[in-house]
Amino acid sequence: MTNHREHPPATHARRRRRRRAAAALLAALVAAGGALPATPARAVNAPHPSVVGAKPAAWTPHALDGTVYRILRIGNRVYLAGSFTKVRNAGRSAQLAMPRLVAFDATTGRIDTTFRPAVNGTVTALAAAADGRSLYLGGAFTSVDGVAAARVARIDAATGTRVAGFTAAALDNQVNDLRLVGDRLLVGGAFQTVAGVTRRGLAALNARTGAADPSVDLRLASPRKTTTGATSPVRVEALDVSADGARLVFVGNFGTVAGQARPQLAVAKLTATGAALSGWSTDRYQPQCAKTIPSYLRGVDISPDGRWFVAVTTGGPFPGTLCDAASRFEFGTETAGMQPTWVNHTGGDTLLSVAITGAAVYVGGHQRWLDNPLGRNSAGPGAVPRPGIGAIHPSTGRALAWNPTKERGVGTGALYATDRGLFVGSDTTTVAGEYHARVAFFPLP
C-alpha cells in the first residue's frame, strides 16, 4: 500500500467506486460470521481505500471540558461518550449542558438536543445494539434515568432513555470496553465481580436482558507487580473481536488466563457455547517497563480482514522491549512464542489508541514521534514528528506521510473509522492548527 501523497488525484467517479468497494468489503466481513448464533460481531473500524485527508472537517461540535473517551456511529447519528459536561455546535457560541453522552448529525455535525440521557458518571465504552435503534453504555456510572445501572446500560438511540427489559448484572467497578457478539455483550474493565460472582476484568452479559452470562469465564489472574512493588488489581484495558465473531483479543493487567501464562495480552476463541483460551501467546509483554507502571498495554485493534492486530503501549523507552510502541501481530497458527511482525517505537511517549483501516494503522496518544526506536525522550536517528496522532504503513510498520499534528495533552484516547473517514477524540482542543475541542473528523479524500 502507498501513503495518501502518492495517490494520483481521484475523480468523483473513482472515489465513488472506492467507497463502494470498501462498503462491499465490510459487508463481506460481517457476513462471514454465519457460524455463530444471531448477529456476529460488527467491525468497529471500517475499511478504507486510502489514507484520510489531513484537514479536519469544520462541522464537528466541541466538547468544552473533560475528555472524549469513545465515539460510535449508528445510521446518520454519531455519539460521543466521556467525562465532559458542556458542548456547543461548531460556529455557535451557545453552550449546552449535555453531560457525558451527546449525539450529533453525522453529515452536518448539529447536536441533537432531543437526545438527553441522564447518566450519573463517566461513560468510557459504547456498542451498537443489533436492532439499530439502541446502544449499550459502559463506564463508571451507577444510574441511568435515576434508576440503578451498575456500570452497564442500554438506551434508546433517539432519545437516550433506558430500554425496558434490560437490567445489567451489577459490576463492582468500572467498564473500559464493550463488544456485542450475537446474544452476548462482552465486557472488559476493572471489575472483580459480576452479580456477586468472581469475574475479574472480563465477563459477558445477555445482550437482551443484561443478566450475567456464565459461558465466558476465562479466569484472569496474577496481576503484575514491578520490582519496586507497584501493582494494581486485575483489569482489562481494551478488547476487540474479529468481524466474524470467532476471535477475541484483550489486553490489561493480568499474568495468567485460564491457568496459562498470558502476560498482559491474550487471544480467545468464541463459539456458540462460550469462550476458550487460544493456544496463541506471546511473552514479549512479560518484561517490566517503568518501575511505577506494572501493566502497560493500553489499546488493541483487529484488522478488517481479521488476520492480524496491533497493540499499543505506554511504559517508557526501554531497549529491546515493546514499551511506548505499536506492534503488529499475526493471528496465524495458534502457538506459543509469537513475535511481532513489526514494531514502531515513539521513543518515550505513551500510545493510548489504535484503529486499523487496511490503508493505514492510525495511532493516538501523547507521542511526539514515530519511527524512533533509538530515542530516549528525544528524537533518535530516523525519528519523524507525529504529535498526538500518526499513521503507520500496515505492511512495513513505518510512519506514513500523514501528519496533521495535534495538541498532545494526556493523549488521543479515541480513534474510530467510519466509511466516511476517521473520528478522533481526546482531552485537547487543537488539531491541524485549528480549534476542534476534544473531537475532530478527517474525511476520506
Q: What letter represents residue 315's amino acid?
A: G
pLDDT of 395 > 80? The answer is yes
Average pLDDT over residues 209-236: 98
Average pLDDT over residues 7-30: 40
- In total, how many domains does the chain have? 1
Between the CA of residue 191 and those of 22, 237, 257, 360, what are the distances in Å?
Answer: 37, 11, 16, 33
Q: Who contacts 13 (Cβ-Cβ below 8 Å, separation ≥6)?
A: none
Q: What is the pLDDT of residues 175-192, one digit of tens each?
A: 999 999 999 999 999 999
Calculate ∠ Cα 134-137-138, nearest 5°: 160
pLDDT of 385 > 90? The answer is yes
- Sign (positive or negative) of CA dihedral 335, 337, 339, 345: positive
The residue whose grid cell reads 525522550 is 377
CA distance 203 to 219: 10
CA distance 366 to 324: 10
pTM: 0.91
Average pLDDT over residues 225-241: 98
Closest by Cα among 433, 429, 412, 435 to 355: 412
The pLDDT value given to residue 43: 64
pLDDT band for position 21 (50/70/90)? Answer: very low
For the chain, give the mean pLDDT.
92
Q: What is the pLDDT of residues 55-109, one digit of tens each?
A: 999 999 999 999 999 999 999 999 999 999 999 999 999 999 999 999 999 999 9
Average pLDDT over residues 294-307: 97
pLDDT band for position 10 (50/70/90)? Answer: very low
The pLDDT value given to residue 1: 34
The pLDDT value given to residue 404: 98
pLDDT of 121 > 70? The answer is yes
Q: Are 330 and 308 in contact (CB under 8 A)?
A: yes
Closest by Cα among 389, 377, 379 to 352: 389
Average pLDDT over residues 112-138: 97
pLDDT band for position 44 (50/70/90)? Answer: confident
Calculate ∠ Cα 134-237-80, nearest 5°: 35
Q: Are 228 and 292 in contact (CB under 8 A)?
A: yes
Query: How far is the first Cα of the chain from the last one, in angstroms, to the nearest whole number?
Result: 16
pLDDT band for position 32 (50/70/90)? Answer: very low
Between the CA of residue 390 and those of 60, 284, 322, 343, 359, what are the distances in Å?
Answer: 20, 24, 18, 14, 13
The pLDDT value given to residue 360: 98
Q: Rounded to 5 degrees, what are φ and ψ at 433?
A: 75, 10
Average pLDDT over residues 247-261: 98
Closest by Cα among 76, 75, 54 to 4: 54
CA 155 vs. chain centroid, Å, equals: 20
The pLDDT value given to residue 42: 58
Q: What is the pLDDT of residues 191-208, one digit of tens each?
A: 999 999 999 999 999 999
Higher pLDDT, 388 or 3: 388
CA dihedral of residues 198, 209, 241, 420 (deg, nearest 10)? -140
Percentage of the residues of the chain whose pLDDT score is greater than 90: 90
Its domain, for residue 344, covers 4-443
CA dihedral of residues 189, 200, 120, 212 (deg, nearest 10)? 110
pLDDT of 253 > 50? The answer is yes
The pLDDT value given to residue 41: 56
User: Which CATH number characterizes residue 8's domain?
Assistant: 2.130.10.10
Percentage of the residues of the chain whose pLDDT score is greater than 70: 90
Q: Are 83 and 100 in contact (CB under 8 A)?
A: yes
